[in-house]
Chains A and B, each alone.
Chain A
């Protein structure tokens, strides 16, 4: 790779041994993937914040970087952790996991990272803008940043993201290059109406299908021709990055690199066309539900983390009704949203009806075995995909309204 004087100095240790270590990792990766130079970045989002994802080696890596004087040189937000930082005991998170996570948190904070502790940084602060180069990890955030914001990031592996944040650089390769962002598979909606794509959960079903069918290609969705809410694009991003490895999609008329189908494909012809009918979407909804109709133990919303508007919506849907005795109803969010909701009283109102706000964390990042959940209801395609493996529970994949009804009744039905 051709390095600038600044980059050579960093590699030689003139900004400290920590920065040199980060640069060595990035040079190795860049060489491997054929990059010839580095690009400066404006933001980073760091995925490896859950002890149960990065384990002791992850702690040792971040602590070593930090102890060697590495500091982030761009605004770097931190991802969801393995605990609710203030209330981890109330969520029965094992003390050992909480303590290990605390070590990881401390090391990142010493490096100057922003303690957002959220998987939805695009909703919270300092969202990147169109065309900006960034280093984001966390699969749903990568997909949202590339697809919905039009910023440019690769799908960085854990711990490489923090190296990028320290160096302020990424190797120029992959999705940082315009021609690599061209669509290659066309998903053509056929007969799909507003009734079929009403709730964000429906867009999650569409995303789940796309992730499974896309392989290594970049999907383009066409045939909708209506505005799409941010919450729906968020659900689509998360689900398609869970069922597959989608890091960028285009939706004609809805995402910024796809004003027309031709623009989305950069003038190329689609390698493959997949027709999406209402029946196909019904099939995906059924596939993501592995639970039998009946009793529910946990309703979980906020995957990715809920916005203030999501909290207001649930409050409205509950309309004063209490969560059924014996049912847990958790909404996962970040501390900024939680603070706003507490200021307005929405948080207290939800809590008085039996809802719990789980801040900073995610049930996919800590064991919930102590709760003995057998059936979980969720409106998230990503949660529905991962929860059976991570929690051992069966999942009912439902619309937001149906999740709220299940929480009130203590049972779900199709």
Chain B
């Protein structure tokens, strides 16, 4: 069953993909290997999983100033997530997405969700997002 939810587009774009969700903040620098898209932070529950092409649900990002360039490098290498759905947009994540749009004319769309929408989406199988912020989620098969 498909359900429509609403989010606020922060970095606008259309995207779809399988959902990958965590309740833990992620540092891109030191936390993600940009050329494989793998999470390598041993303290993170997504460690060993690739975020490439997924609709990534993370509450926020944290860590080094260089996190922005890791996301940019992932856009270049085609290993970036299809979209990021988050509870809080901080400077480093936004910077990466804005730089990618300026340099490569493509980016990782970023959507700000309420806690309820974040929770519902985190439990779903796949999502399709449009630039007005509408998110269609496909629920897990029973």
Residues of chain A touching chain B, judged by Cβ–Cβ distance below 8 Å, are 21, 24-25, 28-29, 32-33, 47-48, 53-58, 60-61, 64, 137-139, 154-160, 245, 389
Contacts and interface: CB of A to CB of B under 8 A. Distances in A.
Q: Binding site of B, secondary structure by majority: helix, strand, loop or mixed?
A: helix
Given A21-B102, A25-B98, A389-B30, A32 B10 contact: yes
B76 A160 contact: no
B62 interface: yes
A154 B76 contact: no
B65 A157 contact: yes
Smallest CB-CB A-B distances: 7 pairs: A157-B68, A157-B95, A57-B76, A55-B73, A57-B73, A53-B66, A57-B72
Nearest to A139: B65
B103 A57 contact: yes
Contacts of A155: 65, 91
Nearest to B97: A28
A260 B103 CA distance: 47
Interface of B: 10, 29-30, 34, 62-70, 72-73, 75-77, 89, 91-92, 94-96, 98-99, 101-103
Contacts of B94: 29, 32-33
B30 to A, nearest CB: 6
A72 B66 CA distance: 21
Given A29-B98, A56-B73, A156-B65, A61 B91 contact: no
A268 to B, nearest CB: 23
25 contacts: A24-B102, A25-B98, A25-B99, A28-B101, A29-B94, A33-B91, A47-B65, A54-B69, A55-B69, A56-B76, A57-B69, A57-B76, A57-B103, A60-B103, A64-B103, A137-B65, A155-B65, A157-B66, A157-B69, A157-B91, A159-B68, A159-B69, A159-B99, A160-B68, A245-B62
A159 B64 contact: no
Contacts of A160: 68, 95, 99
Name which of B10, B29, B102 has the most chain A CB atoms within 10 A of its CB.
Answer: B102
B102 A25 contact: yes
Nearest to B75: A57
A157 B62 contact: no
A245 B94 CA distance: 17
A255 to B, nearest CB: 22
A139 B64 contact: yes
A53 B65 CA distance: 10
A61 B66 contact: no
Contacts of B69: 48, 53-55, 57-58, 157-159
Contacts of B92: 157
Contact of A154 (B77, B91, B102): B91
A58 B67 contact: no
Nearest to A29: B98
